[in-house]
Amino acid sequence: MLSRVGATAPKQTPYAAIDRERMPRHVAIIMDGNRRWARERHLPAVEGHRRGIIALREATRFCKDWGIPILTVYGFSTENWNRDPHEISLLMELCVLFASNELAELKRNGVRVNVIGDYRALPRACVEALDGLMLETAGNRDVVLNLAVNYSARSELLQATRALAADVRAGRLDPGAIDEPTLASYLFTADYPDPDLLIRPGGEMRLSNFLLYQVAYTELWVTPIFWPAFNRETFAQAIVDFQSRQRRFGA
């Protein structure tokens, strides 16, 4: 039977449908749509990126509050160097500001920051800011926030393959002993389980060179909401949908 929701009906929220006993251990997010969000509002692109930092803060708080221990976010890809040089310069400045402005918030929520990708190729100020952020949060234990910065999954796999080959050549590794766990141990994410859920705001239906090896059996959830407008309720909707699925891992 169909029912009509009147104008005065209370707003429905997804929180009550979340099962705390079935939360994902690891959520990955492609933080997409900052520039489109800004363009729709006739704002410069940097305003979308600034608002995206607020969305990341809320997503991290959600993980703390709902017991999700690992959050990996795609912050800056190697392909992003092809953007306008002025925008890239502003992004580098925001990286430094994020490290300083969010430190107290991250400590308060028990968040340990880890950076994956070739971030040491960034300007020195960014490298120092990210190194400082990892050092200052190293003792936190509630949530691991993996920031994928200057990251490329293909580059990650290429580096892992070269490292494996070097160890085989040096006699430290038997080629016949190389299996999936061995390969995974050479990736940036070696210390973490594969993501259970990958969220992509912005509506695009692609992985964009993000965690290509790790998401082989990850559940995907795409929303047209741009990342700056992504909030705790949107995150909750993704979790409810994730919990409604039956994960078979190919079986």
List active site positions. Answer: 32, 80
Contact 119, 80 (CB under 8 A): no
Contact 64, 94 (CB under 8 A): no
Residues facing 200 on adjacent strands: 222
Q: Which helix (H) or strand (E) holds 62?
A: helix 45-66
Could you write out the DSSP letters of every residue in 212-238? TTTTTT-EEEE-SS-GGG--HHHHHHH
**CA angle at 202 for the pair 198 and 207, rounded to the nearest 5°:** 45
Could you write out the DSSP letters of every residue in 87-141? HHHHHHHHHHHHHHHSHHHHHHTTEEEEEESSGGGS-HHHHHHHHHHHHHTTT--
